[in-house]
Structures are given as structure tokens and as C-alpha cells.
Amino acid sequence: MTTHEAAYQGSLIADAFAMPVHWYYDCSALDRDYPDLSNYCAPLPHHPDSILWRSEFIPVNEKANILHDQAPFWGQRNIHYHQNLAAGENTVNFKLARSLHEHVSSEGQYDPNKWITLYLDNMLTPGWHRDTYLEEYHRAFFNRYAQGKKPLKCGISDEHIGGLATVPALLAALPLGDHRQTVKTHIALTHRHSNVLRAADCLTRLLSEISNGTSLHNALMAAAGDWFSTRKAQTWTRRPDRHVIGQKLSPACYIDQAFPASLYLAWKYHDDFPAAIIANAKVGGDSCHRGAVVGSLVAAETFRTSGNFDLNPFRSD
């Protein structure tokens, strides 16, 4: 195992752990529904904060049909976004990360044309994913594709942290080296927003610094100063996590808040991977996609300091 491989595995673990409480914004409801959030859990069928009842996706034709048999649940209240997943299973963006990692590892290099073809095949294959909700960037991409746009030009200016889900996977699959431009090229296929591209580059630099032996704390000071203040973080540690990510920073998915929130949790729990993953899930909001950052950074730091990484820090319920 390498540092980048540990980071990739950490991102998958963080996503799977947070999956049942993904997009809970009412933390009292989160605590009520999952009172012992210390291991992988299966999602309850009822999600009190679900927005599926006011969400709509109408594929322009069959070439945009990525919901498959999950389409009837859109427009219904209290449907869990990940209702079909088992405890410890990854959500769709991290299933894509796994597919990307396997593909690039097999090819030995990254080719955006080959990846986008695989992305299309995966999402258009019934049963490949079992998620009910799909983020806006997927829906917009496939409607553009169905309207005849070239696949490499179907991405939108999406500003959500979900755009970082595949970064650790790509870095783990590539040989050691400077892959900042490759990451940018990859992320821009679906997320053209400048802040998402900037955050992806920051995460790439942080993981590279840790891989080269720099501590996570020092890497944050060297490469994330435009996103994260260690001075503020030191002050915030006196407050509960739900105060910091809830009042100081939003738990929502927009990158300008979600990325600093992720960096804060990674900074605070740098020496305790299970605690970092649990804390990320318990503050609610877009916990799965924050997990790409929290899970990868703390796993990388764990590997840097100990030379190993536990792939099974939690058990299924």
C-alpha cells in the first residue's frame, strides 16, 4: 500500500460510513434515527430532510435515462437518497471513483476520452448503481449528451463538493508524479466551476505533500492557506463540532463552505481516523462528499505516521 492508496481507501470508508445520514440537516433527527452511529449502518427508509419530493428530472430521451427504476420515487416525500444500499456500501459518486481507479490502474494512464466513455456506459446500464438520488451534475451532463453535445463538452459549472469524490481514486491509480493538470482535466469534465477546480488542485497538493513525508498540519499551512486558517481552527476546537460546522461553516454541499469544513475536521482529527469519520458523519449535511477530503487526508496521515492503514476500522450492523 502507498500513501495515495491509503487516501483512496479512506475516502471510500468515509463515504460508506456517512451514507445513512447523508444530507441530514436536522441533527436532532440524525441522533434520533441513528442513536449509535459508531459502525456502518443501513439507511432507514424514511429520510426527514429528503428533497426528492420537490426534485424533478425529465430525461430528454433514453440517452439521458440514468434514473432507471428509481424514477418513480422522485416527487415523493421522505424517501432516503440511498434507500437501496446496504450497510458499508458506497454511494454513486464513489462507485464512479472505484470504477475510475480500476480503469486507470488497468490502463496505466488517464485518458479523458476513455474515461468519459466508461462513465456513460456505467450510468446508462440499469442496475450499475442503486442510488435513488443523482446530483445535478449527472442530470445536466446526460441531458446535454442526449441533445447531441460531445461527451467531453457536457460538463456544467457545478460548485458542489461532490466534484472531489474521484480525486483520491485518480491519484492512487496513477504512478507517482505531478498530476495536478491531469486532475484538473478530469474534474472539468463534469465540474467546470473555478472553485471546485481550485479545491481539487488543493486536495491534490495536500495529498502529494503528505505522500512526500510532510505532516498533515504542515501540509495544510503550506498548501491550503487560501482555504483554511489554522489560527481560527485552534480557536474553534474549544467549540463542539456541530457549532463549528453549523454556525461558523455551513454543513451544506457548496464548495466555498464544504471544503474548509472538511479541512477543519481533517486538521482536528488528524491522528484518529475513526474519530474523524464519525465526526464528519455526525455534523450532518453533505457528509458523504466531505468524506472524500476528510477520509483521504486523515488516512494518508495515518499511513505516513504508522506505515499501515486499517481497511476495516468499522463493522456492519
Among 161, 168, 166, residue whose Cα is nearest residue 93: 166
280: cell is 464528519
- Residue 26's domain comprises 3-306
Q: Could you tell me the pLDDT band of residue 315, with boundaries at 50, 70 and 90?
A: confident
In this structure, is residue 183 part of a structural domain?
A: yes
Residue 77 placed within a domain? yes
Q: Is residue 232 part of a domain?
A: yes
* Residue in the structure block whose three cell numbers are 481507501: 9
pLDDT digits (tens, 9 = 90+) for 77-131: 999 999 999 999 999 999 999 999 999 999 999 999 999 999 999 999 999 999 9
Q: Give per-residue pLDDT as tens, 119-143.
A: 999 999 999 999 999 999 999 999 9
Given a cut of 80, is residue 316 above it in pLDDT?
no
Residue 313 domain-assigned (yes or no): no
Q: What CATH number should be reported for the domain holding residue 233?
A: 1.10.4080.10
Residue that has been written with the C-alpha cell 480500476 in this structure = 102
- Count of domains forming the chain: 1
Q: In the chain, what's the furthest Cα-to-Cα distance? A: 54
pTM: 0.96
Residue 99 lies in a domain: yes
Q: How many CB atoms lie within 10 A of CB 275?
A: 14
**pLDDT given for residue 56 in this prediction:** 86
Indicate whether 201 pLDDT > 90.
Answer: yes
- Strand pairing partners for 272? none
Tell me, yes or no, whether 14 lies in a domain: yes
In a domain, 269, yes or no: yes
Phi and psi at residue 285, to the nearest 5°:
70, -145
Residues 165-185 pLDDT 10s: 999 999 999 998 999 999 999
Helix (H, G, I), strand (E, B) or coil at 160: strand
Residue 312 domain-assigned? no
